[in-house]
Structure 1
Amino acid sequence: MLVLILSVVVLLAIGGCGCVFWAARGDAPRWARGVAKATLLGSELTRSASGKSRTQSGQDISSSSDS
């Protein structure tokens, strides 16, 4: 069951990336541009959520102690 759910998630992610590529070319229909916009929004939300969790746990990658 878990494999089925993960497979669906991976297929949706691949489809979303395909729509982003298609929309970037400029000849995509309106529904593909909408899927691309939703995919990019989801990636930004995921990126910001993972950045907050890293900062809150004290594992911020951007801060280095080279001195």
Structure 2
Amino acid sequence: MALLILSGVLVLAVGGCVCVVWAARGGPRWVRGVATVTLAAGQLVRRSGRTNSNSSLDRGGDAGE
């Protein structure tokens, strides 16, 4: 079951990347919409990753001293 879910996520990610490239080359409107959603999701993932790493440092992680 987990393999099926991971396969689905992989297919969606690859499809989103294809749409981003296609939209950059002037694809149809629906491709530009999917590309916009894909890029927005990527920004959200980056922001959440940055927030998690900063909060772990605030909880007594190694400060480099």
Unpaired segments ≥5 residues, structure 2: none
TM-score, scaled to structure 1: 0.84
Bigger proportion of residues as helix: 2
CA–CA separation in structure 2 for the residues paired with 1:45 and 1:38: 11
TM-score, scaled to structure 2: 0.86
Aligned to 2:24: 24
CA–CA separation in structure 1 for the residues paired with 2:12 and 2:36: 14
Q: Deviations over 1:9-43 (max 9, x none)?
A: 000000000000001112x0110000000000000
Q: State the aligned residue count.
A: 60
Question: Is 1:9 paired with 2:38?
Answer: no
Question: Identity, % of aligned pairs?
Answer: 50
CA–CA separation in structure 2 for the residues paired with 1:39 and 1:58: 29
CA–CA separation in structure 1 for the residues paired with 2:41 and 2:24: 17
Aligned to 1:34: 33
The runs of at least 4 consecutive aligned structure 1 residues that moved more than 2 Å come to none
Residue identity opposite 1:25 in structure 2: R
